[in-house]
Structure 1
Amino acid sequence: MASSQVPARPWWRRLLPLAVVGAAMVLFYVFDLHEHISLQEIIRRHEKLEALERDRTFMMVFAYLALYVLAVAVSFPGASLLTILGGLLFGPVLATLLTVVAATAGGAIIFLAAKTSLGAMLRARAGRFSQRLAEGFEADAFSYLLFLRLIPLFPFWLINVAPALFNVSLRTFVAATAIGIVPGTFAYALLGSGLKGVIKAQERANPGCADAGTCKVDLGALFSPGLIAAIVLLSLVALVPVFWKRWRTRNAAA
């Protein structure tokens, strides 16, 4: 009788998604794209970028989406600067929408790469940290992942990988990510939309500072305590279903 068991995929096919991400990461840094994503570069080139956005809106939208997906897929740590640039070019609402779509897509690429390539090996070597995450995802994967997205306690790339190690579905990953990053994304996009006024004020005080790269802009000072408090509150609300489920489980076992 012929066996119905599906043959295991060759090792090279399991590693292919990871190899593609690795190649994209190499190209990202080989072509020095990371050097063009900085606050000073945004300030220096903001007039040219705004002119391009006015004249070629669809091209700029596509370029922004593509660059953001790539930045997230290669785990570039300065992706928040792209969100600020999006707010400057497209306004807070459209920038938030575009960023959520691109960041979720980029995160899904890493999630799928980890899930299909090295998920089992990484899970086995993660130790106690792995066990803590496993408990959270098993209790309520959506709410736990939503909490991790709302409160950036861990790097964005790590939360792209971690759910893949604990059998979280792609649907849950995409939904929790898309919803969870909205408050933080909107905050950065709102900051970006107000950056033009800050640059103008700097130019009045120090003419030519934008082109020279000497404008001094403190992004941290632009975040209001109320906005930060609102994000923290949303994160705590996201954990309510997790604690409720654990409480019911303990009471049922008692």
Structure 2
Amino acid sequence: MQRITLAGVFLLGVAAFFFFDLGQYLTLEYLKASHERLQALYLHNRIPFITGYMGVYIAVTALSLPGAAVLTLAGGGLFGFWIGTLVVSFASTIGATLACLVARFLLRDWVQQRFGDKLVTIHAGIEKEGAFYLFTLRLVPIFPFFVINLLMGLTRMRLFTFFWVSQVGMLAGTMVYVNAGKELARIDSLAGIISPGVLFSFALLGLFPLTVKKILAWYRARYNLPPTPDDPTVP
């Protein structure tokens, strides 16, 4: 019964998005044109506005619909850097966790058929590196954001682990987009937000925990040291 209810909500949400053409409100052009009006609404109704914004962001992310990047820019443009980062960070992580849950209990067969080749890589990475692998994926754009959410649903990773690792791993990217959102008038395309230098920095940051894990594993093997039970470098 729970699965049927979840399926009904998921299909209804996706159908409503496309039937009512709600995607038109999640574009950079619409955001730039409506910025002043939305800013006025926020200034007069801060808490309700933030609540509604988070609800929309969570729904879009949970249903794996397009528009998360634009919503993140909106967070920076409307709320400023610090509040925007806080709001977007939690909204995106909650939505991603719900998408992972949907994939695990509802879309398992579809995800396997659609992303089977990538799933092999994901399983191998999780088996070898554990939560470190998810952290790297959140920083290094090997797979799109929504694909990671769906594929992780087919692994044995605990949802709580998925939540907190995603929260930390997506923070750097969130801050970049939120900061860019403060300059909406100067943004012509989403592709221009992240430069090659920023992507390279993300790659280095994502590889750092894996490098540390390898060094510690080598050190233990070199000196024949047993791992501690709570050692995070042990898969």
Superposed, which structure 2 residues align to 1:70-219 within 5 Å? 70-119=59-108, 129-196=118-185, 198=186, 217-219=188-190
Name the larger-Rg structure.
1
Whether 1:240 and 2:229 are equivalent positions in the alignment is no
Residue 22 of structure 1: CA displacement? 2.2
| Whole-Å separation in 2 of the counterparts to 1:20 and 1:128 | 29
The answer to whether the 8 Å contact 1:73/1:107 transfers is yes
The answer to whether the 8 Å contact 1:114/1:164 transfers is yes
| Whole-Å separation in 1 of the counterparts to 2:194 and 2:174 | 13
Unaligned runs of 5+ residues in structure 1 are 1-11, 199-215
Distance 1:230 1:174, change over 3 A: same
| Whole-Å separation in 2 of the counterparts to 1:47 and 1:36 | 15
Aligned to 2:230: none
The answer to whether the 8 Å contact 1:137/1:144 transfers is yes
In structure 1, give the amino acid aligned to 2:175. F
Q: What RMSD in Å do the two structures reach over aligned CA positions?
A: 2.9
* Residue correspondences, number: 223
Aligned to 2:227: none
Percentage identity across paired residues of the two chains: 30
Residue 249 of structure 1: CA displacement? 10
SS in 2 for 1:167: coil
| Whole-Å separation in 2 of the counterparts to 1:175 and 1:64 | 21
Whether 1:67 and 2:38 are equivalent positions in the alignment is no
| Whole-Å separation in 2 of the counterparts to 1:96 and 1:35 | 24
The answer to whether the 8 Å contact 2:28/2:189 transfers is no
TM-score scaled by length of structure 2? 0.82
Query: Of the candidates 26, 40, 61, which is equivalent to residue 37 of structure 1?
Result: 26
| Whole-Å separation in 2 of the counterparts to 1:126 and 1:57 | 40
SS in 1 for 2:153: helix
Unaligned runs of 5+ residues in structure 2 are 225-235
| Whole-Å separation in 2 of the counterparts to 1:125 and 1:190 | 34
